Amino acid sequence: MSMLICCNGCHTPIQLPPGTTAFRCIVCRSIGNTASPSSAPILYPPVPPTTSSNYHGQKKAVIIGILYKNQKGELRGCINDAKTMKDMLIHRFNFNESSIFMLTDEETDPRKIPTKHNILIAMSWLVNGCKSRDSLVFYFSGHGGRQPNNTGDEKDNYDETLLPLDHGTQGPIVDNDINDIVVKPLPTGVKLHAIIDACHSGTVLDLPYLCKMDRSGRYSSWEDHSPKSGTGKGTSGGEVISISGCADHQYSDDTNALSKEKMPAGAMTYAFIQAIQNGQGATYGSILHAMRYTISTRYKPGAVGRKQDPQLTSGHHFNVYTEPFSL
């Protein structure tokens, strides 16, 4: 089983194969070794009990909702989103509550506050020790951003980012690091779904393929987003699919205009859950089509000049209208 440790320099969590003695941090690039006292194994979040059936192995999820209270750009619906998503995973997809690690800025447990350090630990925990038939979910509701990329490995020359609660001092979480932590380690037979309700989130997992839709909202083709350098952005044999709130150049809105109860929520999260609850969740294509229809017809963000088109990216090509959706 792999080992989860802290970087000697910046204390970022790092997942290492068994027997590893030296490593280079993906964030600060410093070289460390597992014999150092500062590289002691991380003991939290706790490993959940296995929830299994004849088909599924273990189910684990990390759910993050950030309001950025008392900060510029404070949001309203992200904790509601996180709670709704957790409820759906438990009651619709049979996740054990103890296998869900949730971070929000209303938590009092310091381990569950969505700082950059805690989010990186949670991401590493999610994939640590995963094996064939495991089903993993990474959900984020909060701010997303983008920054210039100078390495030439981005189609639009921008890196996409997620903003932790302390991004003002610790900086964002960049798509390259998200890919390194939760995508590349996945072994054969493991399936990870990322559900990202944030601005500029279309390719925030840095997956190699983007599902393109035509003007009617139907599947058109898979667009290749593999790095020009040829560097691999796929898994170690596992399967990753990301459903995100908008294209890389767009914004994901936080609104109370969609629900009848006028409860603040992310437009993407609301549309995703509505698609599942309304029986439109049979395939990935039906979910994406339903989400786009809900946002464009009920919310009409284009009326205020902000178009929002949920996106689907993947580590491999597949037929979005025949591939069954399941978590």
**Which residues have a catalytic role annotated?**
143, 199
> Looking up tokens 């029986």, which residue turns up?
279
Query: CA 63 to CA 262: how far, in whole Å?
Result: 23
Query: CA 126 to CA 124: how far, in whole Å?
Result: 5
Task: Output the six-digit token pair for 69.
Answer: 């209270």
In this structure, the strands spanning 135-141 and 3-6 are unpaired
Q: What is the DSSP letter of 275?
A: H
**End-to-end alpha carbon distance in the chain:** 24
Report the SS3 class of residue 183: helix
Residues whose CB is less than 8 angstroms from the CB of residue 218 and which lie 6 or more positions away in sequence, other chains included? 285, 289
The number of residues in the chain equals 327
Task: Output the six-digit token pair for 40.
Answer: 């002691």
Closest to 284 (Cα-Cα) out of 317, 308, 261, 247: 317
Query: CA 196 to CA 176: how far, in whole Å?
Result: 16
Q: Are 327 and 93 in contact (CB under 8 A)?
A: yes
Query: CA 26 to CA 253: how far, in whole Å?
Result: 31
Rounded alpha-carbon distances, angstroms, from residue 222 to 116, 120, 169: 32, 30, 38
Query: CA 201 to CA 221: how far, in whole Å?
Result: 19
